[in-house]
Structure 1
Amino acid sequence: MTARSGLIERSEELRLLTRLSADPLQGSGSVGLVVGPVASGKSGLLNALCEEASRSGVTALRAVGAQAECRTPLSIVGQLLRQAPLAAERSKQVRLLLAMSERAAAQHPAPTGPGQEPWQLPTDLVQELCAVLFELSTAGPLLICVDDVHHADTLSLQWLLFLIRRLGTAPIAVVLTERTSAQHPHPAFHAELLRQPNCRRILLGPLTHQGVVQLLESRLDAERADELASRFDALTGGNPLLVHALLEDLRTCTRLPSEQRPSRLGAGYAFSQAVVSCLHRSEPSALAVARGIAVFGESCTTHLLGQLLDLSPATVECVIRGLESAGLLEHGQFRHPAVRAAVLHDTDADDLSKLQHRAAHLLYTQGAPERAIAERLLASNEPGEAWSTRVLCDVARQALFDGDADLARRCVEHAHRVCADRRARGEVLILLAGVEWQLQAGNATRHLPQLTAALRAGDLGDRHSVVVVKYLLRHGRITEATAVLDHLLAAPGRPAEGRTTAELQTVKLLLASAYPGALAELPPFGPTNVNADRAPAAVRADPQLQAAAVLDEVLSGCAGENTFLGAEQVLRTIRLSYRSWEQVEFALLALIYGDQLDRAAVCCDQLLSRIGRAAEGWRPPLLALRSQIAFRQGRLVEAERFAKTALEEMPWPGWGVTIGLPMAVLLMAQTAMGKYEDAAELLSRPVPQAIYKSRYGLHYLHARGEYRLATNNPHAALDDFLICGEMMQEWGIDLPTVVAWRAAAARVHLSMNNHQRAKVLIDEQFKRLQPGPSRSRGIALRLGAAVAELRHRPSMLRQAVDELQRCDSPVELALALADLGYAYQNLGDHKRSRTMMNRAWQLAKEHSAEPILRGLSSMFCDVREEVPQTASATVLAGDLSDAERRVASLAALGHTNREIARELFITVSTVEQHLTRVYRKLKVTRRSDLPGELCLVSTGSSASYA
């Protein structure tokens, strides 16, 4: 057979059937049974046989069984006899005979219960109906073909068996086709048929790979056919109907615009319909089993399918083998995702939803992985139960941990949508807000009305109510937050749960650090110190509370090295999640307010580098903190970039009162860079009124004061600084490392020549400084020099320079160097003055501090000139020992030998010896000839602070 006839790889089967249909010509009856999977080409084989028979002079009668007519009595008999070439009178008799038989059958409905035998047509009627064909065969051989005999009604099967048993030497050939089935719908008929001596069974299989190639070559050019053959074979399993459907989709898609073409092979309409056709033409349970496999996916087992569909495992296995022979399945799974998609698309949405939910419950009872259960729940819209809600929430948390943001959001949104229990729905809403916050912090704002409504309705437990308090605080709704806390604390015996106690204590510390004024409005709760003996061990062990306690130690002025080591440990080991933000914020603020800026920068950068898609909500607040670190380090350009990015990546309403931090840093950076128009535009933007009741308002007031001072509005600036200071004193967080309001106010007084008031503020600032080198101490020393006598200024400024070098604060260092240069100028040391001024210029230029540059230019017109070099950079880098560099750097700054000895903890004699060697190596004769680059060399004691 040629490919054009559609009988590829069916030539041998057609030859056998043609020989069988020739038997009537020899005067003997014969029977053929063609068995094959659904859509394997049985009907095409019958068509070809009928054509061959007609050409040989054989009369061919054909009937087709249909599932819709399997209960219609004598449907096959009627099709055959009504097309028989009979004389008019005999044809009328046959019609009357059929009508009589059908009326008789109608009076005996099909059995409805087990054990009931089907009614049989009376033998005389069967004999008369068969006699019609026997009479017709006397005029010439007959070929009787019945396609899909498995769909025939029982009376037609009774008639066929009667006919076949009496063929004998009658010139009649009977050819039947049926689909492959482990459980035949009419086993008695099938068994009786096969025991007939004149019956020949012919099996059809799927096309081989070469057969697929041949079929493709009949429709495509050879090169294209060879290219697609393997893919077609893998997708269809050699099922001719599916191969033809793929070819049809291929032909159709070439006529479509490129944007409308299917994205992959198998995604076309014809293939999808062919898959559905195969299933509907298969045995009745095949469609249900296919849907079950589509729902279970890789989790599918015959046992689970049987439970899902109320079928025995043996029945399921038989159906699976049939679908595998039809090319739809391979090893119990769909050959291709396109087949699964077609099955799911053909299923009614409500039925599929129920099926998915039932499958999820079966997997849950079997202890299957939660992610597999969640996938089925996500495909269902059935009302949520306690177990399903719990599974979805657990999978959402794990997905966040694994970085699968999309799955996390879908799980928690679905759980909230289908959850029917009010209390559980409120708890899911808490998780939903947390997930939204972690994925994109600003999105969590939209859930705040629902959260507060659930809170008022009593749908949240104590622990979740505390979480809502945190959201309310973040968005400046302090009155509501304190009201909730007051309610939680008022009831007797609450809180009883250890975790809730820890949450409440964390909120207390959050209030103390961010909203200190609100804390006074609440009744006392929890221990005043997290490590107090009366605090339960479960409370003290809570990591969130421990991180809050670290910040509390810094703000209370009792932080030590162990405090900062603890903060670093938190930041380096923490896993990014919506639950751990407070820990990160507390630990970073502890380092920032503890003047541990290098440590804070390293930890913050590490956290930013670990942010994935499932933690994008972390980026804006982390960038805000990173901008604050960069500004305090004097990296103005970086601070501006970090703050701008933070504000761009999260909508302004999403920040709540915390917007005060990035706005303050951006305002400070732009002011320090001389970008006054940009700063003015930023100040014009409204901020939440509640910001002035929070720590974020301190930073905002300070930044606004700096802008006003820089733009010649000292009185307004002083008001901002003093209000800021008053708030800090009231709240008990009056530390220079939080906001150095005294230093800022002192600068205002200095600008107005109020030196006495400035001195009082500076002296008070010194009293509040923590021991050890710090940026705050360097700033205080620089300002202290401004109110000291001229002869004492260089010494104080050299100390300031030394402090700021150790802390790596370039902008403040530039100011100190400029002041030192000005002091030297007033003392007549012009060479050293130029050295300091030029170095200040270089630092200010490097960090875009335009106001400092303008100030230096106005005082010294030659400030940009480089100091003549008396020694090469190579000598500076290589010839001096570390000890000699340290001594030379302090000498270049103007320190006396005794001061150098005291600073480096060495003797004056040792200093003199080092200087002698330095002079010789650098070929200079006195201290004033030392190159200015030596001012940048850190002293020995600074190594610990790098």
Structure 2
Amino acid sequence: MTQGDKAQAAAVQEAVLAACAPGRSVAVLIEGAPGLGKTALLEKVAQQAAMSGTVLSAAAGERQRPFGVLNRLLAGSSEPALSGLLTGEGRSATDTGAALCSQLRDLGRRGSVTLCVDDVHHADVQSLQALQYVLRSAQPAPVTVVAATAASGDRWRALLPADTLRSPQVHRMQLALLAPAETEHFVTAHAAATGRIPPRAAARLHRLSGGNPLLLEALLAEDALTCHPVPGGPFVRGVAHLLRHSGPAARATAHTLAVLGGHPVGPPLLAELIDGGAPVAVDALNALRACGLLDGLGRREPAVLAAALADCAAPDLTRLRLRVAHTLHTAKAPATAVAAPLLALIADGAGPVADAADQSLLAQTARDLAESAAALRMQGRTDQADSLERASRQLHVQVGDLEPTEAP
């Protein structure tokens, strides 16, 4: 666990370790968004438990096969009775749980037994049902189950349903983002140790990281003296890591917000742009907010937006820019707002569009920009008029119309 994690998670860590004290039979659920230190805390629990008994650890992955997590837990065991539990086929989760529970109770006679499961929100249902049987039936043997899960989603409820959660042996612990004061304390200590970062940089580093320890560590690993993340550097890679581990909907929402840039974003507009509509958009925003990538409805830090764009594959980004432009046009947004993602296509080096609807949008937006330029020129705002005329010409070239509409 990094020093940044300790700054905000000390109380949670102490509570988790106390709950997992040797000789007790408990279940502990560690909840938190990506980057907040769940895995590090789980490793700390495993290290402590290994000093007084047996530890079985596994991390769930996406697309788990039936009993996949349980197989991973048991694969590293030196106990033949445990490693051979899943050799038979066609066994139900209840039968497997009963057999596992029996073996763990026997093992508990020689010392405490701790099962550590990371990313339990990805775990297969059969493994969760078998582990739930252990939770219900292992007492009074000293068998502890510690699971780490993402703050969003409720897949873990197959392990800890409502009636189990009410049990006094179940503890839920929540990791949170660093508060500004905690970030400042850590940055000040880091500056004193290295001499590289002025303490006054703490506020800027907190805004960039959103209080996420993983992103803060990434910033400190690169040119944090100027607080400007480098392209392809640790910060950009850190944002990509958070997006991948926040789920497909949250990742798509982050890409959409980045394409929208500084344009005001309301729930109706975002619901139009996110597959699944408002319910999916709300869940996605909550997931992004939990890991520090959102402030309110959307972060407007250029470095965060740039990192989110860098995470989007070029073909997907092209389609997304066009989709955003069409949606803004339908919503009767100003021509400059509609033009922004279209001009970004040109900056990306995209070739002329082939779809008729896209060509029509480009041509219409070019005409709208030219009309806006004419109005600005009549008001004597020459520089702004010139800028819009240049943008209008760029869009005409992109659609293949080499005779752009000139403002009168």
| TM-score, scaled to structure 2 | 0.86
Question: Could you give the per-residue CA deviations for residues 375-403 of structure 1, whole angstroms, max 9, x where no partner exists?
Answer: 12223454343243111232145347342
Q: Is the 8 Å Cα contact of residues 253 and 285 (structure 2) preserved in structure 1?
A: yes
Question: How far apart are the structure 2 equivalents of 1:418 and 1:430?
Answer: 10
Aligned match of 2:70: 77
Question: How far apart are the structure 2 equivalents of 1:61 and 1:414?
Answer: 60
- Alignment partner of 1:191 out of 158, 161, 179: 161
Question: How far apart are the structure 2 equivalents of 1:399 and 1:376?
Answer: 19
> 1:212 corresponds to which letter in structure 2?
T
Question: How far apart are the structure 2 equivalents of 1:341 and 1:191?
Answer: 40
5+ residue gaps, structure 1, are 106-120, 255-262, 420-424, 435-577, 580-946
Aligned match of 2:8: 9
Q: Is the 8 Å Cα contact of residues 177 and 211 (structure 2) preserved in structure 1?
A: yes
The 1:6–1:361 alpha-carbon spacing in structure 2 relative to 1, beyond 3 Å, is closer
> 2:73 corresponds to which letter in structure 1?
L
Question: How far apart are the structure 2 equivalents of 1:14 and 1:136?
Answer: 27
Aligned match of 1:98: 86
Aligned match of 1:65: 60
Residue 52 (1) aligns with residue 48 (2):
yes
Question: Could you give the per-residue CA deviations for residues 72-128 of structure 1, whole angstroms, max 9, x where no partner exists?
Answer: 222221222122232xxxx2x544432324xx48xxxxxxxxxxxxxxx25323322
Q: Is the 8 Å Cα contact of residues 360 and 373 (structure 1) preserved in structure 2?
A: yes
CA-atom RMSD in angstroms: 2.6
What is the CA-CA distance between 1:5 and the residue it aligns to? 8.7
Q: Is the 8 Å Cα contact of residues 77 and 83 (structure 2) preserved in structure 1?
A: no
Aligned match of 1:343: 308
Q: Is the 8 Å Cα contact of residues 209 and 230 (structure 1) preserved in structure 2?
A: yes
5+ residue gaps, structure 2, are none
Aligned match of 2:395: 414
> 2:35 corresponds to which letter in structure 1?
A
Q: Is the 8 Å Cα contact of residues 94 and 130 (structure 2) preserved in structure 1?
A: no
The 1:6–1:376 alpha-carbon spacing in structure 2 relative to 1, beyond 3 Å, is closer
What is the CA-CA distance between 1:202 and the residue it aligns to? 0.9
Residue 271 (1) aligns with residue 235 (2):
yes
Aligned positions of 1:886-901 closer than 5 A: none
Question: Could you give the per-residue CA deviations for residues 621-650 of structure 1, whole angstroms, max 9, x where no partner exists?
Answer: xxxxxxxxxxxxxxxxxxxxxxxxxxxxxx
3-state SS of 1:155 partner:
helix
Residue 213 (1) aligns with residue 184 (2):
yes
What is the CA-CA distance between 1:196 and the residue it aligns to? 3.4
What is the CA-CA distance between 1:217 and the residue it aligns to? 4.1
What is the CA-CA distance between 1:330 and the residue it aligns to? 0.4
Residue 289 (1) aligns with residue 270 (2):
no
Structure with more contact order per residue of length (Cα contacts < 8 Å, sep ≥ 6): 2
Q: Is the 8 Å Cα contact of residues 96 and 130 (structure 2) preserved in structure 1?
A: no
- Alignment partner of 1:240 out of 193, 201, 213: 213
| TM-score, scaled to structure 1 | 0.39
> 1:415 corresponds to which letter in structure 2?
H
Q: Is the 8 Å Cα contact of residues 396 and 409 (structure 1) preserved in structure 2?
A: no
Q: Is the 8 Å Cα contact of residues 131 and 159 (structure 2) preserved in structure 1?
A: no
Question: How far apart are the structure 1 equivalents of 2:158 and 2:170?
Answer: 16
Aligned positions of 1:68-147 closer than 5 A: 70-86=63-79, 91=80, 94-101=82-89, 104=90, 121-147=92-118
Q: Is the 8 Å Cα contact of residues 43 and 147 (structure 1) preserved in structure 2?
A: yes
Q: Is the 8 Å Cα contact of residues 207 and 238 (structure 1) preserved in structure 2?
A: yes
Q: Is the 8 Å Cα contact of residues 36 and 175 (structure 2) preserved in structure 1?
A: yes
Question: How far apart are the structure 1 equivalents of 2:269 and 2:160?
Answer: 31
Q: Is the 8 Å Cα contact of residues 362 and 399 (structure 2) preserved in structure 1?
A: no
Q: Is the 8 Å Cα contact of residues 210 and 292 (structure 2) preserved in structure 1?
A: yes
Aligned positions of 1:648-687 closer than 5 A: none
What is the CA-CA distance between 1:154 and the residue it aligns to? 1.3
The 1:5–1:36 alpha-carbon spacing in structure 2 relative to 1, beyond 3 Å, is closer
Q: Is the 8 Å Cα contact of residues 94 and 133 (structure 2) preserved in structure 1?
A: no
Q: Is the 8 Å Cα contact of residues 55 and 115 (structure 2) preserved in structure 1?
A: yes
Aligned match of 1:158: 129
Aligned match of 1:364: 329
Question: How far apart are the structure 2 equivalents of 1:98 and 1:218?
Answer: 50
What is the CA-CA distance between 1:8 and the residue it aligns to? 2.0
Aligned positions of 1:375-454 closer than 5 A: 375-380=340-345, 381=350, 382-383=353-354, 384-399=358-373, 401=377, 402=381, 403-404=383-384, 405-419=386-400, 425=401, 429-431=403-405, 434=406
Q: Is the 8 Å Cα contact of residues 128 and 158 (structure 2) preserved in structure 1?
A: no
Q: Is the 8 Å Cα contact of residues 101 and 137 (structure 2) preserved in structure 1?
A: no
> 2:264 corresponds to which letter in structure 1?
S
Q: Is the 8 Å Cα contact of residues 353 and 379 (structure 1) preserved in structure 2?
A: no
Question: How far apart are the structure 2 equivalents of 1:65 and 1:335?
Answer: 34
> 1:413 corresponds to which letter in structure 2?
Q
Give % identity.
29
Question: Could you give the per-residue CA deviations for residues 708-728 of structure 1, whole angstroms, max 9, x where no partner exists?
Answer: xxxxxxxxxxxxxxxxxxxxx
Question: How far apart are the structure 2 equivalents of 1:379 and 1:287?
Answer: 20
Question: How far apart are the structure 2 equivalents of 1:335 and 1:160?
Answer: 43
Number of matched residues? 387
Q: Is the 8 Å Cα contact of residues 219 and 227 (structure 2) preserved in structure 1?
A: no
Aligned match of 1:231: 204
3-state SS of 1:322 partner:
helix
Aligned positions of 1:292-307 closer than 5 A: 292-297=256-261, 298-307=263-272
Higher share in helix: 1
Question: Could you give the per-residue CA deviations for residues 693-749 of structure 1, whole angstroms, max 9, x where no partner exists?
Answer: xxxxxxxxxxxxxxxxxxxxxxxxxxxxxxxxxxxxxxxxxxxxxxxxxxxxxxxxx
Aligned positions of 1:457-856 closer than 5 A: 579=408
Question: How far apart are the structure 2 equivalents of 1:153 and 1:430?
Answer: 58
What is the CA-CA distance between 1:187 and the residue it aligns to? 4.6
Question: How far apart are the structure 2 equivalents of 1:264 and 1:18?
Answer: 36
What is the CA-CA distance between 1:203 and the residue it aligns to? 1.1
Question: How far apart are the structure 1 equivalents of 2:96 and 2:113?
Answer: 21
Question: How far apart are the structure 2 equivalents of 1:49 and 1:123?
Answer: 27
Question: How far apart are the structure 2 equivalents of 1:264 and 1:415?
Answer: 39
Q: Is the 8 Å Cα contact of residues 120 and 156 (structure 2) preserved in structure 1?
A: no
Q: Is the 8 Å Cα contact of residues 183 and 202 (structure 2) preserved in structure 1?
A: yes
Bigger radius of gyration among the two: 1
The 1:167–1:197 alpha-carbon spacing in structure 2 relative to 1, beyond 3 Å, is farther
The 1:272–1:124 alpha-carbon spacing in structure 2 relative to 1, beyond 3 Å, is same
Question: How far apart are the structure 2 equivalents of 1:4 and 1:227?
Answer: 19
Aligned match of 1:172: 143
> 2:85 corresponds to which letter in structure 1?
L
What is the CA-CA distance between 1:225 and the residue it aligns to? 4.9
Question: Could you give the per-residue CA deviations for residues 847-903 of structure 1, whole angstroms, max 9, x where no partner exists?
Answer: xxxxxxxxxxxxxxxxxxxxxxxxxxxxxxxxxxxxxxxxxxxxxxxxxxxxxxxxx
Question: How far apart are the structure 2 equivalents of 1:124 and 1:84?
Answer: 20
The 1:147–1:315 alpha-carbon spacing in structure 2 relative to 1, beyond 3 Å, is same
